[in-house]
Amino acid sequence: LLLAASQPVLSAELPRLVAKDGRHALLVDGQPFLILGAQANNSSNYPDMLPKVWPMLDRIHANTLEMPVAWQQVEPKEGQFDFSFVDELLKQARANDKKLVLLWFGTWKNTAPSYVPDWVKLDNARFPRAKKPDGSDHYLHSPHARTTLEADKKAFVALMQHLKKVDAENTVILVQPQNEVGSYGNPRDYSPQAEALFRQPIPPALAKATGKSGTWAQAFGKQADRAFNSWYMARFIDEMAAAGKAVKPIPMFVNAALHSPFGEPDPSSVSSGGPQWDVLDIWKAAAPHIDFAAPDIYSREEKTVSAWLDGYARADNALFVPEIGNAADYARFFWAVLGRGGIGFAPFGMDATDFYNYPLGAKRLDEETLDAFADKFALFSRIGQDWARIAYAHPTWGVARPDDGSSRTTQMGDWKIEASFEQWQFGHKDWTWMKRDPVPWAGKPVGGAAVAQIAPNQFLVAGDHVRVTFSPGPNVKNGLMLKVEEGRFQDGQWVTSRVWNGDQVDYGLTFNEKPALLRVTMGSYK
């Protein structure tokens, strides 16, 4: 008995990512888990700030907090570690019934060394900055410095060792080593050491993954500097992730500062070396210990955001949005993420520490802004596990209102599905008198829907500010919408609370401000 009591708590199943048929799930305690996340502001990683964080997560029905842990905070003096903030964070996360995603702010935070300890910042001989072509220092720490990698890795591994010791119950479900890496204004290190590497043929693993050959310049042309920096930053981070996972193997990911998805990027004006969609193959080949790369979304344009999401939702890359602006008009992209089988979504800057990153996000977190996220999260906080389980096994589709408010259609199996916007719940917006009285949100960037095909003739639908219409595709004779049930899941089983009929279905299934969950059954007669 005594012996048993002194044993540590039997560790639960580790969180892990699984993939099947091009779809992904994050398993938490062995079950698919949908991250309804919120990221704290950059300087909220202190015990005194935590009381300003949890109420915000509860307000928007988030189940997961993304919080920085800074190298300078845990290793202020070399070799002396202080994980007291991590301990407090874990304790409070459990008390508040939240999961955690830890963001390791180390050598690169938005590319800069702002979060490294002073003893790193001030020792440019041991931890050298990258060089510009003219030989002067760029602000960036060079990814080619073994000493920098060893020092950062040591601290990161210490964090993972600490987690192994104090987090047997796996409150931490994901770890992000570094933040928005890359280099601004100087696409790569031009030091003599880096120049020598740049003149060599590309690494065999990269040649194999991309089918390219020759030197970096030969293989990647105008994007060669970016490709080179991507490879070496990814190798640096992969070595950290591998060392961390050797201690505690939980999923790790990287996030990307994004540029326009249209047209060729200028390596000097993007975050060169970061895990953007157009260099993802390089990152995959260089960093096999990184489970996925993730887009940080700070565009409010649907066509831009959809292109980004498409760039990350791949059979070899789970879609997760670890950051998205916290203004109301970003909330509609939740539907687009779910529809692409995303494993989670997290608005950035969700705490009450009086900082707002407008124009990226909201000017203020007023009630309307919070509701835009909270109403969606509230529904999925009840069905998130069910949705994640279903989305792992079934086709999904989702849309956010396009910039011009036009409708979107798709076909799933035999059935056509249309999402249209700015409809009252009764009738049609094209009717003359309806044109004179548009919905209050007409012209505003709100609305969207997500659909899962749970059986050939059956769908789950959720959305807000949207009308979803199901109709027979060209191969169906005498097809019809048979039944529309509003309901929920209980212990994994569908429970109908009522059947929608009459006015509720005659013009389509029209959701207003409050998201709802429907199960739609289609049929046909002979």
Residue numbers at the binding site for ligand N0T (CB under 6 A): 42, 110, 179-180, 257, 296, 298, 323, 348, 357, 360
DSSP 314: B
C-alpha dist (Å) from residue 441 to 60, 119, 464, 465, 477:
21, 53, 11, 8, 37
C-alpha dist (Å) from residue 371 to 61, 62, 365, 393:
10, 12, 10, 30
CB of residue 445 vs ligand N0T: minimum separation in angstroms?
18
Return the structure tokens found at 81. Answer: 């570690």
Edge-first strand listing for the sheet containing 493-500: 396-400, 448-455, 458-464, 516-524, 479-490, 493-500
Q: Is 283 or 415 the residue whose CB approaches ligand N0T more closely? A: 283
CB of residue 255 vs ligand N0T: minimum separation in angstroms?
6
Q: Is 296 or 422 the residue whose CB approaches ligand N0T more closely? A: 296
Q: How many CA atoms lie within 13 A of 297 on its CB side?
A: 33
CB of residue 411 vs ligand N0T: minimum separation in angstroms?
36
C-alpha dist (Å) from residue 80 to 72, 76, 102, 117, 161:
11, 7, 20, 12, 14
Sign of the alpha-carbon torsion through 466, 396, 33, 47: negative
Q: Is 236 or 348 the residue whose CB approaches ligand N0T more closely? A: 348
CB of residue 302 vs ligand N0T: minimum separation in angstroms?
18
Q: Is 348 or 392 the residue whose CB approaches ligand N0T more closely? A: 348
User: Which amino acid is it at 49?
Assistant: M
Provide the β-strand partners of residue 459.
453, 520
290 within 8 A of 254, measured Cβ to Cβ: yes
Q: Is 360 or 461 the residue whose CB approaches ligand N0T more closely? A: 360
Q: Is 187 or 448 the residue whose CB approaches ligand N0T more closely? A: 187
- 214/204 Cα distance (integer angstroms): 10
Which pairing describes strands 448-455 and 458-464: parallel, antiparallel, or unpaired? Answer: antiparallel
CB of residue 103 vs ligand N0T: minimum separation in angstroms?
8
* Residue whose entry in the numeric block shows the structure tokens 């919905």: 439
CB of residue 179 vs ligand N0T: minimum separation in angstroms?
5
CB of residue 257 vs ligand N0T: minimum separation in angstroms?
5
Q: Which residue is nearest to ligand N0T (CB)?
A: 357
Q: Is 63 or 299 the residue whose CB approaches ligand N0T more closely? A: 299
CB atoms within 10 A of CB 7: 7
Nearest to 106 by CA among 296, 233, 277: 233
CB of residue 111 vs ligand N0T: minimum separation in angstroms?
10
Q: Is 147 or 357 the residue whose CB approaches ligand N0T more closely? A: 357
Q: Is 358 or 426 the residue whose CB approaches ligand N0T more closely? A: 358
CB of residue 60 vs ligand N0T: minimum separation in angstroms?
18
Which pairing describes strands 172-179 and 320-324: parallel, antiparallel, or unpaired? Answer: unpaired
CB of residue 227 vs ligand N0T: minimum separation in angstroms?
22
Nearest to 90 by CA among 164, 177, 10, 6: 164
Nearest to 515 by CA among 372, 329, 301: 372
CB of residue 156 vs ligand N0T: minimum separation in angstroms?
17
- 394/509 Cα distance (integer angstroms): 22
DSSP 321: E
Q: Is 167 or 180 the residue whose CB approaches ligand N0T more closely? A: 180
For the chain, the first-to-last Cα distance in angstroms comes to 69
Q: Is 225 or 296 the residue whose CB approaches ligand N0T more closely? A: 296
